[in-house]
Amino acid sequence: MYSLSPRDPDKTPDAGGLAVCDIVTGKSSPVANVPLNARIISVCWSPDGKKLAYSWRITEDRKKENPDLQEVEFHITVCDPDGQNQKTVASEKGQVRSCSIGHVYWR
């Protein structure tokens, strides 16, 4: 199981952390190396349960009146549940409305 949680709402209101929760023990462990200014879009497990894939974005200009025109960087990252062995498998930079990276599904 995974969870998204705010890290520091005073600094980046839409940024959140990523954690893995052991459903047997209830213990939650943060996924390391997630960028502090990242906004997690979606997360999924690999079919064998050994890897996480998550999509995230960084917004360049948070003050624009029309959010669809904001410049953003979207990424899809695959890693071990503890955040190690990270690899960015796709990335795209552009306006929110024109980027094709969004939710991630692992089949």
Give which of 62, 61, 64, 59 is closest to 75, Cα–Cα: 59
Asked if pLDDT for residue 5 goes beyond 60, the answer is: no
Cα 23 to its chain centre, rounded Å, is 21
Distance CA 87, CA 69 (A): 28
Instruction: Look up the pTM and report it.
Output: 0.74
Distance CA 38, CA 58 (A): 5
Asked if pLDDT for residue 78 goes beyond 90, the answer is: yes
Give which of 33, 38, 42, 59 is closest to 3, Cα–Cα: 42
Q: Which residues contact 50 (CB under 8 A, 6 or more apart)?
A: 80, 81
Better-scored residue on pLDDT, 36 or 26: 26
pLDDT per residue as tens digits for the range 54-73: 988 886 655 666 666 777 88
pLDDT per residue as tens digits for the range 10-35: 444 445 678 898 889 989 888 998 88
